[in-house]
Protein backbone atom coordinates (compact mmCIF):
# COMPACT_ATOMS: atom_id res chain seq x y z
CA UNK A 1 0.00 0.00 0.00
CA UNK A 2 1.31 3.40 -0.95
CA UNK A 3 0.20 6.76 0.32
CA UNK A 4 -0.06 9.24 -2.55
CA UNK A 5 0.94 12.18 -0.33
CA UNK A 6 4.26 10.44 0.37
CA UNK A 7 5.26 9.92 -3.28
CA UNK A 8 7.87 12.71 -3.24
CA UNK A 9 9.46 11.44 -0.02
CA UNK A 10 12.45 9.16 0.30
CA UNK A 11 11.94 5.76 1.92
CA UNK A 12 13.73 7.04 5.03
CA UNK A 13 11.41 10.07 5.27
CA UNK A 14 8.36 7.84 4.87
CA UNK A 15 9.65 5.56 7.62
CA UNK A 16 10.15 8.56 9.93
CA UNK A 17 6.49 9.50 9.44
CA UNK A 18 5.40 5.92 10.07
CA UNK A 19 7.38 5.55 13.32
CA UNK A 20 6.27 8.96 14.62
CA UNK A 21 3.27 7.55 16.56
CA UNK A 22 5.60 5.19 18.46
CA UNK A 23 7.90 8.08 19.39
CA UNK A 24 4.94 10.26 20.36
CA UNK A 25 3.40 7.50 22.49
CA UNK A 26 6.63 6.87 24.38
CA UNK A 27 7.44 10.58 24.65
CA UNK A 28 4.14 11.27 26.35
CA UNK A 29 3.75 8.04 28.30
CA UNK A 30 7.34 8.12 29.50
CA UNK A 31 7.47 11.84 30.31
CA UNK A 32 6.87 11.10 33.99
CA UNK A 33 9.44 8.28 33.83
CA UNK A 34 6.68 5.66 34.00
CA UNK A 35 5.40 4.44 30.64
CA UNK A 36 3.01 2.00 32.23
CA UNK A 37 1.02 -0.83 30.70
CA UNK A 38 -2.22 1.21 30.53
CA UNK A 39 -0.49 3.89 28.46
CA UNK A 40 1.12 1.33 26.18
CA UNK A 41 -2.17 -0.50 25.64
CA UNK A 42 -3.98 2.78 24.98
CA UNK A 43 -1.40 3.75 22.37
CA UNK A 44 -1.79 0.38 20.61
CA UNK A 45 -5.57 0.61 20.76
CA UNK A 46 -5.71 4.14 19.34
CA UNK A 47 -3.30 3.37 16.49
CA UNK A 48 -5.22 0.24 15.49
CA UNK A 49 -8.58 2.00 15.82
CA UNK A 50 -7.57 4.89 13.59
CA UNK A 51 -7.13 2.76 10.51
CA UNK A 52 -10.92 2.72 10.20
CA UNK A 53 -12.25 5.30 12.68
CA UNK A 54 -11.49 9.00 12.61
CA UNK A 55 -10.34 11.03 9.66
CA UNK A 56 -10.70 8.96 6.45
CA UNK A 57 -7.76 10.88 4.98
CA UNK A 58 -5.50 8.99 7.40
CA UNK A 59 -6.97 5.47 7.18
CA UNK A 60 -4.17 4.25 4.86
CA UNK A 61 -1.52 5.93 7.02
CA UNK A 62 -2.74 4.24 10.20
CA UNK A 63 -3.14 0.91 8.40
CA UNK A 64 0.59 1.08 7.59
CA UNK A 65 1.52 2.36 11.06
CA UNK A 66 -0.46 -0.41 12.77
CA UNK A 67 1.45 -3.13 10.91
CA UNK A 68 4.66 -2.44 12.86
CA UNK A 69 3.55 -0.20 15.72
CA UNK A 70 3.83 -2.69 18.55
CA UNK A 71 7.25 -3.90 17.42
CA UNK A 72 8.51 -0.32 16.97
CA UNK A 73 7.18 0.72 20.36
CA UNK A 74 8.76 -2.29 22.08
CA UNK A 75 12.09 -1.57 20.34
CA UNK A 76 12.01 2.05 21.53
CA UNK A 77 11.21 0.94 25.07
CA UNK A 78 14.02 -1.62 25.07
CA UNK A 79 16.48 0.90 23.68
CA UNK A 80 15.63 3.87 25.89
CA UNK A 81 14.03 2.54 29.09
CA UNK A 82 17.24 2.92 31.09
CA UNK A 83 17.55 6.63 30.32
CA UNK A 84 16.23 9.26 32.67
CA UNK A 85 12.96 10.77 31.46
CA UNK A 86 14.53 14.18 30.81
CA UNK A 87 17.31 12.73 28.65
CA UNK A 88 14.88 10.53 26.74
CA UNK A 89 12.50 13.46 26.26
CA UNK A 90 15.30 15.57 24.80
CA UNK A 91 16.23 12.78 22.36
CA UNK A 92 12.62 12.25 21.29
CA UNK A 93 11.96 15.97 20.87
CA UNK A 94 15.02 16.16 18.64
CA UNK A 95 13.83 13.13 16.66
CA UNK A 96 10.29 14.49 16.25
CA UNK A 97 11.65 17.91 15.23
CA UNK A 98 13.06 16.22 12.13
CA UNK A 99 9.47 15.78 10.95
CA UNK A 100 9.20 19.53 10.30
CA UNK A 101 11.31 19.32 7.16
CA UNK A 102 9.47 16.22 5.95
CA UNK A 103 6.00 17.67 6.54
CA UNK A 104 6.88 20.68 4.36
CA UNK A 105 7.28 18.28 1.42
CA UNK A 106 3.74 16.91 1.59
CA UNK A 107 0.31 18.39 1.00
CA UNK A 108 -0.45 21.01 3.66
CA UNK A 109 -3.92 19.66 4.44
CA UNK A 110 -2.53 16.16 4.91
CA UNK A 111 0.32 17.47 7.10
CA UNK A 112 -2.10 19.44 9.30
CA UNK A 113 -4.40 16.42 9.57
CA UNK A 114 -1.46 14.24 10.62
CA UNK A 115 -0.37 16.71 13.28
CA UNK A 116 -3.91 17.00 14.64
CA UNK A 117 -4.12 13.21 14.78
CA UNK A 118 -0.73 12.92 16.50
CA UNK A 119 -1.84 15.48 19.10
CA UNK A 120 -4.98 13.42 19.69
CA UNK A 121 -2.85 10.30 20.17
CA UNK A 122 -0.65 12.18 22.64
CA UNK A 123 -3.70 13.28 24.63
CA UNK A 124 -5.18 9.79 24.71
CA UNK A 125 -1.92 8.26 25.92
CA UNK A 126 -1.56 10.97 28.58
CA UNK A 127 -5.09 10.33 29.83
CA UNK A 128 -4.64 6.56 30.00
CA UNK A 129 -3.39 6.25 33.56
CA UNK A 130 -2.70 8.03 36.78
CA UNK A 131 -4.85 10.45 38.62
CA UNK A 132 -7.23 10.07 41.49
CA UNK A 133 -10.76 8.99 40.59
CA UNK A 134 -10.13 10.07 37.02
CA UNK A 135 -9.05 13.55 38.09
CA UNK A 136 -5.58 14.92 37.44
CA UNK A 137 -4.71 11.92 35.30
CA UNK A 138 -2.37 13.92 33.06
CA UNK A 139 0.98 14.55 34.71
CA UNK A 140 2.69 17.93 34.61
CA UNK A 141 5.40 16.50 32.37
CA UNK A 142 2.88 14.98 29.95
CA UNK A 143 0.79 18.13 29.75
CA UNK A 144 3.73 20.24 28.62
CA UNK A 145 4.52 17.86 25.77
CA UNK A 146 1.00 16.92 24.62
CA UNK A 147 0.65 19.73 22.10
CA UNK A 148 3.80 18.53 20.30
CA UNK A 149 5.25 22.04 19.97
CA UNK A 150 8.41 20.60 18.43
CA UNK A 151 6.40 19.80 15.27
CA UNK A 152 5.51 22.89 13.30
CA UNK A 153 3.55 23.27 10.08
CA UNK A 154 3.24 26.34 7.90
CA UNK A 155 -0.45 27.16 8.12
Instruction: Confirm if 58 and 130 have CB atoms less than 8 A apart.
Output: no
In a domain, 34, yes or no: yes
Report d(CA 129, CA 100) in Å as an integer. 30
User: What digits encode the pLDDT tens for the residues 56-79?
Assistant: 999 999 999 999 999 999 999 999
User: What digits encode the pLDDT tens for the residues 101-137?
Assistant: 999 999 999 999 999 999 999 999 988 876 544 545 6
In a domain, 133, yes or no: yes
In a domain, 85, yes or no: yes
pTM for the full predicted model: 0.93
Task: For residue 40, count other CB atoms closer than 10 A to its CB.
Answer: 21
As for how many domains the chain has, the answer is 1
Shortest CA distance to 47 belongs to which of 127, 116, 125? 125
Q: In terms of C-beta density within 10 A (0-12 exposed, 13-18 middle, 19 or more buried), how is residue 111 classed?
A: buried
In a domain, 3, yes or no: no
In a domain, 148, yes or no: no
Shortest CA distance to 65 belongs to which of 109, 148, 131, 6? 6
Q: Domain range spanning residue 93?
A: 9-143
Amino acid sequence: MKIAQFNQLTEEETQQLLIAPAYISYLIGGADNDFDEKEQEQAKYVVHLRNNVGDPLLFDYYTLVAQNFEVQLNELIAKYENLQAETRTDLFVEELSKLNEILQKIDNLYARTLLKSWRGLAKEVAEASGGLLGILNISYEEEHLMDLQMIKINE
